[in-house]
Structure formats: C-alpha cells, structure tokens
Amino acid sequence: MVRFLLWLVVLFFCWPLALLALFLWPVIWILSLPFRLLGVAVEGVFDLLRAVFSLPARLLGGGRRPRRA
C-alpha cells in the first residue's frame, strides 16, 4: 500500500518519470534475470564444494562428542 501511495505521489509531481519507470521496470527485470541465474548457479557450486569437503568428517563422525551425564 505504501509503495502504491509513493507511486501516486511521484505520478502527481513528476508523471513523465513515473511513466518511464513503469515501462522500464519490466525491461530492467528481464535484463537482470541472467545475473540472478548466475547467482543461483554459483551458490549451488559452493554448496556442493562445502558438502564434498565436509563428507570425510561426516563419515568419520566428526563433530559428535559423547555426552556427559
């Protein structure tokens, strides 16, 4: 709701800028999609590397200590 009211204020005071933003936002969003996909892929690679490097410790039971009563 606040975004809509802010958009109305911008439309009232500077309607050409508001209309330009309204029409350019989908173009900017489409142009940013490859960067988002690249970010997801890089995050996946880092998660895979973290899992590969922590696998030996998990298999050997690293990080688990016997509980004292």
The radius of gyration of the chain from alpha carbons, rounded to an integer in Å, stands at 25
Q: How far apart are CA 10 and CA 64, in angstroms?
A: 58
Q: For 13-68, how does the pLDDT look when each residue is reduced to its tens digit (9 = 90+)?
A: 887 877 888 899 999 999 999 999 999 999 999 999 999 999 888 888 865 666 66
The domain tally of the chain equals: 1
Domain assignment present for 49 = yes
- Asked whether residue 3 carries a pLDDT value surpassing 70, the answer given is yes
Q: How far apart are CA 6 and CA 12, in angstroms?
A: 10
- CB distance 58 to 51 below 8 Å: no
Residue 7: which domain range? 2-57
Domain assignment present for 66 = no
Domain assignment present for 68 = no
Question: Could you say which DSSP state residue 62 is in?
Answer: T
* Beta-carbon count within 10 A of 11 CB: 15
